[in-house]
Amino acid sequence: MLQSANPQSSTIDRPIVLVGLMGVGKSTVGRRLAARLRLPFVDADQAIEEAAGMTIADIFERYGEAQFRDGERRVIARLMDGRPKVIATGGGAFINDATRALILAEATAIWLDAPTRVLAERVRRRDTRPLLRGKDAHDVLIDLAKIRNPIYALAPIHVASQQAPHEATVTAILKALGR
């Protein structure tokens, strides 16, 4: 929640959590947003890898998606400690009912959105995403968007991720936050 005595001096009193499909820029934009707000940044995927002692791809391969999502929920719950920070989540985190309820209750959720063709172009650059292994990225993203976008839309703030420098998206978020 944002509190302000006047619009020019608003303070952030809870975490800001970025949600959205893979490739939308949650981590990159999140780092820059945190820097602009002078807040700590946490990438939930990195926190999961540190907690598990293995990569997300290895967790998926060894234990499956359901086990990964359970660990993801526990890590995000730990990160939601009430202190202001910017948290970038994995694409599926907000889809989990318990994780979503926690984020909506204890943070300011921001849905970063972009067209699937743009996302497919971005994610093809890295071969580390388990849901894309051996599949066409654009087809997978279209299917995921059909399922996930109505759930992401539950986030109170919706910002389009620009096909421009990341600073444009950061500026759009700051404007949506009234900063």
Minimal CA–CA distance to 22: which of 169, 159, 141?
141
Does 148 carry a binding-site annotation?
A: yes
- Give the helix/strand (H/E) hosting 101: helix 97-106
CA distance 8 to 33: 18
Give CA–CA dist 174/157, Å, rounded: 11
Tell whether residue 91 is among the known ligand binding residues: yes
Give the CA dihedral 86, 87, 91, 95, nearest 10 degrees: -110
161 known member of a binding site: no
Q: Check the annotation: does 26 bind a ligand.
A: yes
Given a contact cutoff of 8 angstroms between Cβ atoms, the answer to whether 42 and 31 are in contact is: no
Structure token digits, residue 41:
């940044």
Q: Is 100 annotated as a binding residue?
A: no
Q: Is 28 labelled a binding residue?
A: yes
The alpha carbon of residue 89 and the mean position of all alpha carbons in its chain are separated, in whole angstroms, by 3
Asked whether residue 23 is marked as a ligand-binding residue, the answer is yes
Binding site residues for substrate, as ranges?
A: 45, 69, 91, 148
Binding site residues, as ranges?
A: 23-28, 45, 69, 91, 129, 148
Binding site residues for ATP, as ranges?
A: 23-28, 129
Binding site residues for Mg(2+), as ranges?
A: 27
